[in-house]
Amino acid sequence: MGDGGLRRLRVAVLLSALLLVALTGCTQFQIETRQLDVFTTTAQDVSARPPEHDISVLAIDFDPPLDTIRSLEDLKAVSLLVAVENTGLVSERNVVVRAELRLDNREPSPTLVRTATVEQLAPGEVKVIRMQGLSEIPIRTEYWLRVRATPVLGETDVTDNQRIYRLQLTNLTR
């Protein structure tokens, strides 16, 4: 898949996520993407060769959707889904993805941490990782979620390895 094909795939994945959010109503749930240190835009030479090693976190989702969650009991069935893409030219092995949930974006230590490993990721391939065990959190109306793919050996541009989300839940009860 060429560079243009990868870009179209990224756009399709992100548009699908946005459409899903729009169709579900989102009366009880809001997700806000924070572009803190993520995706710094720079001028790129379109004729330049793609990097040999490059991993990207494309998007996240929840299964079932968070707008269906009313209690901590409901959270037991929720999984965090993370889409990770190899935008480099070579296959990568043992790509570690770490999700950290914080009650405040300035907290030094996360409230909850989940990790998963993608054993093999071919060039241009997108894999979705499922992380479970999200019910071990205190009840709050706002959380901060940081999802990061650990840079692979030889990766030089890590600006797309991380995404930070602000999650807002209302009417959550024990």
What integer pLDDT is reported at residue 22 of this predicted model? Answer: 36
What integer pLDDT is reported at residue 48 of this predicted model? Answer: 74
Provide the CB-side half-sphere exposure for 124 (13 A, CA): 9
Number of domains in the chain: 1
Within a domain: 11: yes
Confidence of residue 162 (pLDDT cuts 50, 70, 90): very high
Within a domain: 45: no
pLDDT tens, residue by residue, 82-132 = 999 999 999 999 999 999 999 887 878 898 899 999 999 999 999 999 998
What integer pLDDT is reported at residue 168 of this predicted model? Answer: 81
Within a domain: 109: yes
pLDDT(160) > 90: yes
Query: Do the beta carbons of residue 146 and residue 164 sit within 8 Å?
Result: yes
Within a domain: 48: no
Provide the CB-side half-sphere exposure for 75 (13 A, CA): 14
Q: What is the mean pLDDT of the chain?
A: 77
Within a domain: 60: yes
Its domain, for residue 96, covers: 3-39+53-169
Confidence of residue 47 (pLDDT cuts 50, 70, 90): low
Burial 45-56 (b: 16+ CB within 10 A, else e): eeeeeeeebbbb
What integer pLDDT is reported at residue 161 of this predicted model? Answer: 96
What integer pLDDT is reported at residue 172 of this predicted model? Answer: 64
E-assigned strand segments in the chain: 29-34, 55-63, 79-86, 92-102, 112-121, 126-131, 142-149, 162-169
What integer pLDDT is reported at residue 69 of this predicted model? Answer: 76
Within a domain: 129: yes
CATH code, 97: 2.60.40.10
pLDDT(40) > 50: no
Within a domain: 108: yes
Within a domain: 46: no
The residue assigned the tokens 């999984």 is 79
Q: How far apart are CA 1 and CA 16, in angstroms?
A: 20
Which residues are CB-neighbours of 60 under 8 A, at least 6 positions away?
80, 81, 82, 83, 145, 147, 163, 165
